[in-house]
Structure formats: C-alpha cells, structure tokens
Amino acid sequence: MQINTEIIGNTLVAKLFGELDHHCCGEVRTAIDREIDKGRIKNLVFDLDGVSFMDSSGIGVILGRCKKINELEGRTLIIRARPQVDRVLELSGIKKILECG
Amino acid sequence: MNNKIENFMRLDFPSKSCNESFSRAAVAAFASQLDMNIEELADIKTAVSEAVTNSIVHGYRGIKGIIHIECRIFGDSITVTVRDEGRGIEDVKRAMQPLFTTDREGERSGMGFTVMQTFMDKLSVESVYGEGTTVTMTKTIGGEADADFGEI
C-alpha cells in the first residue's frame, strides 16, 4: 500500500493507494501516527480514491486514528470512497461518527 | 439458468498476512465464472478477506498454520469454506456479535462476521475450542436461491 501524506494548514491529508487490509494496516497506522505525534496537525482527511479494496481491518485503522484526532478535538473526514469501500464504511456505522464526503 | 455449472477448487496456504490479498483474489477469479455483477463479486472478495484475516489474526495468533479454502459452484450459487486448525472460538455466538473482538490492542473493529453475514446469503461457523474453525458461506447470484440448490 502506498501512503502519501500532505499537511495543509493544520490538516493532514492521507492519500491511500492499493488494498487496505490487515496486512497493510500497520504501515498506514505508523505513517499517519508519525504525523499526528509531531503535534502540528489537528484534523485528518482520508482520501480513499486510490483504495481499490477495503475490509473491516480498514475500519479498525480509521477508527483508531479518529480516536487520536478526537483527543486533539479535531475532525476526521473520509473523502472519495469507491463503492466497495463505501459499502464497508456504511455497514460499520463509522459514517455516523465521522464526516464522509 | 439452463447450463448448470458445477465446479470446485481448493487452496492451501500458510497463515501469512500477505496471503490475504492473494486468497481473496484467487476466490474472486474462480467465482467470476458465474455471471455476476461487480458488487456481488466485491461482496465475495470482502467476505473471504474477513474469514482469512480471522484465521490469521485469531485462529493462528502467534503460531504458524495452514489455511484451507474450498470453493464450490453449483448452479447460480457459490459456497466458500475457509478452515483453519488454530485456536478455535470459545463462544461462537458471542464472537459473531457486532463489535465483539478479543483483540482490542490490535485495533480490530469486531465487524468481520457482520461483514460476512451481510455480504453473503448464508453463513455458518463451526468451531472446536483448541482445534480450529470452519466458516462456510454461500452466495446465490442474482438474488433468489436456485430451486435445485440442495445441501451445501
């Protein structure tokens, strides 16, 4: 999985490419937490346009980051989820606790 | 459907997480001989990914083992069995509850069985604690089950 991170103001935009499953959720967690832990950002945007597949392991990693952002009183946003990814997001109920665009 | 397809395949692989993508892609490639839409194929792929991930994360937690997949196509239905000889599940009913997980630290969502249940038409989980788990799931393409569809 490829992870591109970009900081715009106090928002971290994490663009993910590939298949987000248990095998690669560790590297996603590490890459995003590294940026959060630097203390410069408050909000997080997951750009999932490049994610061709996601299962419930992806939900776990998104929720984990969302909790960290909540501690900073920031907001987490998911954008550009493809249909298969959106179906898993919908089922998980995660859409009720964070913003999806 | 006039021409009934009957086909099967088996897959054995070690419980390495890099095999998660391989196994769901292999099942999807096999399943695609049924005339199904992208969403149905994605559903099967996602359900298989959940079952295989469960075997790796929970069944074979901290130990190495083999995961066995068997796929059977009969008519318009596909049945996928994912079996491990891992730790087994102490309380299957409890494990199948949404959000239940034994692995809080690993940021598991507890949604695996819920995904399998939702994305497939039938799901059965048999487990013997200490001996392993077998997950059997069936999806009928195009909605209604075929009249000739017998035992799984």
* Cα distance between residue B133 and residue B62, in whole Å: 16
Of B19, B61, B70, B108, the active-site residue reads B108
Cβ atoms within 10 Å, residue A86? 16
Angle, vertex CA B8, rays to CA B61 and CA B37, nearest 5: 90
Give the total residue count for chain B: 152
- Tell me if B20 and A22 make a contact (CB, 8 A cut-off): yes
ipTM above 0.90, yes or no: yes
Residue B72 is a catalytic residue: no
Q: How many domains does chain A have?
A: 1
- Residue range A12-41: average pLDDT? 96
* Residue-wise DSSP of chain B: --S--EEEEEEEEES-TTHHHHHHHHHHHHHTTS---HHHHHHHHHHHHHHHHHIIIIITTTS--EEEEEEEEETTEEEEEEEE-SS--S-HHHHTSTT--S-TTTT--S-HHHHHHHHSSEEEEEEETTTEEEEEEEEETTSSPPTT----
What DSSP designation does A66 have? H
- Tell me if B50 and A23 make a contact (CB, 8 A cut-off): no
Q: Residue A1: pLDDT above 50?
A: yes
Nearest one of B23, B124, B83 to A21, comparing CA atoms: B23
Q: Which residue of A has its CA nearest to B20?
A: A23
For residues B78 and B20, the answer to whether their CB atoms sit within 8 Å is: no
In this prediction, residue B79 carries a pLDDT of 98
- Residues from chain B that touch A92, judged by Cβ atoms under 8 A, are 109, 111
Domain membership of residue A84 as a residue range: 2-100
- Tell me if B21 and A21 make a contact (CB, 8 A cut-off): yes
Residue B104 is a catalytic residue: no
B78, B109, B133, B117: CA torsion to nearest 10: -30
- In chain B, the domains with their CATH numbers are 6-140 (3.30.565.10)
Residue in B49, B107, B114 closest to A21 by CB: B49
Provide the residue-wise pLDDT of chain B in tens; the chain has 152 residues.
Answer: 456 779 999 999 999 999 999 999 999 999 999 999 999 999 999 999 999 999 999 999 989 999 999 999 999 999 999 999 999 999 999 999 888 888 767 788 889 999 999 999 999 999 999 999 999 999 999 865 444 444 44
A99 CA to centre of own chain? 11
* Cα distance between residue B141 and residue B76, in whole Å: 5
Is B40 an interface residue toward A (CB < 8 Å)? no
Is B108 an interface residue toward A (CB < 8 Å)? yes
- Tell me if B49 and A88 make a contact (CB, 8 A cut-off): no
Residue B50 is a catalytic residue: yes
Of B20, B40, B50, B85, the active-site residue reads B50
- The domain that contains A76 carries what CATH number? 3.30.750.24
Of B54, B72, B85, B87, the active-site residue reads B54
Strand duo A2-8 + A11-20: pairing: antiparallel
